[in-house]
Each structure stands twice: as C-alpha cells, then as structure tokens.
Amino acid sequence: MTTLDKIVSLCKRRGFIFPGSEIYGGLGGTWDYGPLGVELKNNIKEAFWQSTVYGRNDVVGIDAAILMNPKVWEASGHVKAFVDPLVECKICHQRFKADQKEDLAGHEKSHQGKKTQWTPSRKFNLLVEAKLGVVEEAKQKVYLRGEITQGVHVNFKNVLDSTRLQIPFGIAQIGKAFRNEINPGNFTFRSREFEQMELQFYIKPEESQARKWYEYWKKERMNWYRTLGMTENKLRFRQHEENERAHYARDAWDIEYDSPFGWKEFEGIHNRGDWDLSQHQKSSGQDMQYFDQETGKHYLPWIIETSGGVDRAALFFLIDAYNEDKDPSTNSGQGRVVLKLNPKLAPVKVAVFPLLANKPELVKKARLVRELLTVNRELLPIAWDERGNIGKRYYSQDEIGTPYCVTIDFKTLEDDTVTIRDRDTTKQERVKIASLASQINSRLNRGPTANSG
C-alpha cells in the first residue's frame, strides 16, 4: 500500500524534497526541493504552460511581483476576509482549523481517556506580513501574496493595452504564494510557502457565458491531469457548499485526489464574477472596464479562474506513480519500487551505464554515448551510473521514475549497438547508437505509460 511515510522517505532519500532549513531544526510548513524535485516541479510547470499558454491563441502569461502595494489586499478583501476558523485544544494548546473535522477527531484520539475541550472558533487571517523600507521607524507593512491571482487582475488593463487580445481571453501565471496556515501538514500538502499555477479567464458578464466557460475549463483541467497519467478513478470533482466558498467566489468546484490521507483538493475552478476588477476599480479609482468593439459597450468582465497548486500536484503525481511490484524480467520476481511517472514529468529521462566500471573501453564508449544524447535538449537531464551491479542500477532508476536506461556492453564495442531498457516492462531492446536519440525521443513522446495505480 502507498503510505505517505513511504513517499516522504523516498523523497528525502533520493533528493526530491527535504524539510526546509533542516540543519537548524526546520521551519514549520516550508520545504526545499532537491535535484530531482526541482526537475519534477519544472516539468509540471512546463506542461501547464504548454497546454494553457502555448497550446492556444487566447491566453498569454505574466509574472507579477510577489510584493504588492498593501492596498491591493485591502481591495481584494483578503485583509478582512482571508481567514480560517481557528480552535485551540485546551489540554495541549495545539491549534487547528475548525473545519478540518478529520484532524480534530485524530487529535481527540491522541488524548485517549481525557475528554478534549476546544476553545470557541475565532477568525485567523492567513496573510503573511513583512516590513519594507530602510529606516526602521518608517518601514512599511506589506503582505507576501496570499494568492498569485491579484497580480494578474491589477495588470488587466496593461495586458489588454499591450496585446491585441479580445474577450474571451485569459492570463496565466505561475508563482509563489504564502499563507500563515494554522496547521501545516501532510508533508507538502499544506505548506506556508507554495507555488500556484493559475489561469484567469475573462469573459462577457453573462450567466450563459459563465456557464459555458466554467464547464469548459473544468473539463480542460481535469483532462490535463488525466492526460499526464493520473489514475482516473482517483480523481473527482467536488462542489463547494455555499458557506464554504471563498469571499470572491460565485461558484467553486475542486478537483480532488484520493490520497492516503483522504480525498483532497489540489485545484479549484472558481467563478469570481467581476469581484476583483470591480473592487480594484473602486479602490484605485482607475477604469478597469473593457471596451467591446462589436457592441460599443464598456463593461467589467467576469472571471473564470483555474487555480492549481504545483506542490500538491507534484505530491499527488508522486503518490499516484508510486508502485511496488515484482520485476517481470526476473524468474524470482524480485520486488522493486517503481515510479510510473508520465515520461513528460519524469525528472530524469535517460540513464546511461557502462556494463562494467573497471573496463576502460566500456566506460569510454559510454561517455561518448552520453555526450551524443546530451545535444538533445528534450532528453535532459541524463543520469550516469557505473557503481555496483547492473540490476541494482536499473532498480535505482526505477525508483525515481527514469523511463529508459541505456547500457553499453561488450557487444557495443563490436557492432555499435546498445540496449534500451523500459522502466515499466523491464524489457530490453538492442538499437544502433546512430538511431538511439530518435528512438528514445519517439518512445518518450508516445504518451503516458500504463499506470497500474
């Protein structure tokens, strides 16, 4: 069974994710991505950008500043309404989000025998504050952005004026957000610093348009996760109850994953109406309206938002890809851990091995093969391993999800062929070095590998 503990230990052992500031005892709710983690995250972000921006002609991207004028957060309602209900355990003073019933129940069990009493729920603002300025007394209080969304909306007019976009159109952004979460936990799932990948899609302010685009983006986003190999029956939509919705949302649906700690949200699709633009118009005094050339009318567009967490997606892709199976190529059916990640997401695309490290002619040839592959950007990064026996090297790559391993053996020296081993089937095939790069490339692009879940 895939437990969170197994994922956490794999991430630490192999360099996906480390606790933040670990040598100083850590900092609650912060995580550092290691050599493999940064590749996985970059691949997720690239796939998002590819499908949301490059793959269409009605969306552009921006990269707004993390630090913004505090008036932005007053106008957007975050200073007042970006709150979670907080309760405190009267026995041990640990604090929880009052609406996380499972966490509360779990905590109550930890005080077995004693009846847990909770303080009345009070509102707790999640914005993280910072101070900006060079003179101590005159430092200005600012907020680290609680969502990346506002950076897009305050630039609505700038983007409009500098492009030829017409409604409906979207602005995508990927970047860090910060929340003073009451109870960070479940590994990276609830962090205090995390990354979001979002699309703000501006439409005519009409119910029929909102319904149409809302359904469209729900479908698109769900398909995106499926196409990248997430197991279909582990994904579902859940609509927010009216009292659960964020202050800006007219409608909200989450995409949830069936994780080892329950069904959990990792992307939200929201109908924000004209909340953001009207608030910024009111607060800044700037005209945020769109001029519709066809009808000659000015209006504030409505916004359909898709807001995904890069870290939560990375975590769920890892959990979904994690398999413990028996190596089909060995008679003994040796057990192995294999990450059946979609090749597009796999941190390492190819590993190159000389069969034996103590045969200089094999090592020299293997180095040449690695160099040959290195010129193909889409095959990077390439791993190199010459330690121990070849079986262990294969398993070591399986564990991090490397789709293909190339081995240089004695036959290579005779006929310039190498073996390619497939992560999922463990089958090996001999191919000519001359066609190696194109062979691997076409296999990588063949789409998701079968995921047995």
- List interacting residues with ligand ATP (CB under 6 A): 147, 179, 181, 190-191, 194, 196, 265-268, 307-309, 311-312
Q: How far is the CB of 221 from ligand ATP (least distance, A)?
A: 11
Distant-in-sequence, close-in-space partners of 219: CB < 8 Å, separation ≥ 6: none
Q: How far is the CB of 196 from ligand ATP (least distance, A)?
A: 5
In the numeric block, the tokens 């950076």 are attached to 151
**Angstrom distance (rounded) from CA 160 to CA 358:** 63
Give Cα 32 distance to the centre of its chain.
14
Q: How far is the CB of 270 from ligand ATP (least distance, A)?
A: 7
Nearer to ligand ATP, 191 or 402 (CB): 191
Q: How far is the CB of 177 from ligand ATP (least distance, A)?
A: 7
Q: Do residues 331 and 51 lie in contact, with contact meaning Cβ atoms separated by under 8 Å? A: no
Beta bridge partners of 273: 303
Nearer to ligand ATP, 198 or 409 (CB): 198
- Residues 338-371: b if buried by 16+ CB within 10 A, e if exposed: bbbbbbbbbbbbbbbbbbbeebeebbebbeebbe
Q: Please give the full DSSP string across 307-375, using - where no structure is assigned.
A: EEEHHHHHHHHHHHHEEEEE-TTSTT--EEEEE---TTT-S--EEEEES-TT-HHHHHHHHHHHHHHHT
Q: How far is the CB of 395 from ligand ATP (least distance, A)?
A: 31
Residue closest to ligand ATP, measured at CB = 309
Nearer to ligand ATP, 194 or 404 (CB): 194
Residue 168 preceded by cis peptide, ω within 30: yes
**Angstrom distance (rounded) from CA 40 to CA 14:** 13
Nearer to ligand ATP, 107 or 365 (CB): 107
Q: How far is the CB of 145 from ligand ATP (least distance, A)?
A: 12
Nearer to ligand ATP, 41 or 421 (CB): 41
Q: How far is the CB of 308 from ligand ATP (least distance, A)?
A: 6
The interaxial angle of helices 4-14 and 310-321, nearest 10 deg, is 100
In the numeric block, the tokens 């405190």 are attached to 88
Q: How far is the CB of 450 from ligand ATP (least distance, A)?
A: 27
Q: How is residue 240 annotated by DSSP?
A: P
Nearer to ligand ATP, 265 or 292 (CB): 265
Q: How far is the CB of 223 from ligand ATP (least distance, A)?
A: 17
- Provide the residue count of the chain: 453
Nearer to ligand ATP, 142 or 197 (CB): 197
Nearer to ligand ATP, 198 or 274 (CB): 198
Q: Do residues 413 and 361 lie in contact, with contact meaning Cβ atoms separated by under 8 Å? A: yes
The interaxial angle of helices 360-374 and 436-444, nearest 10 deg, is 60
Amino acid at 41: K
Q: Is the torsion defined by CA of 106, 111, 112, 116 positive or negative?
A: negative
Nearer to ligand ATP, 181 or 398 (CB): 181
Q: How far is the CB of 311 from ligand ATP (least distance, A)?
A: 5
**Angstrom distance (rounded) from CA 214 to CA 57:** 19
Nearer to ligand ATP, 12 or 238 (CB): 238
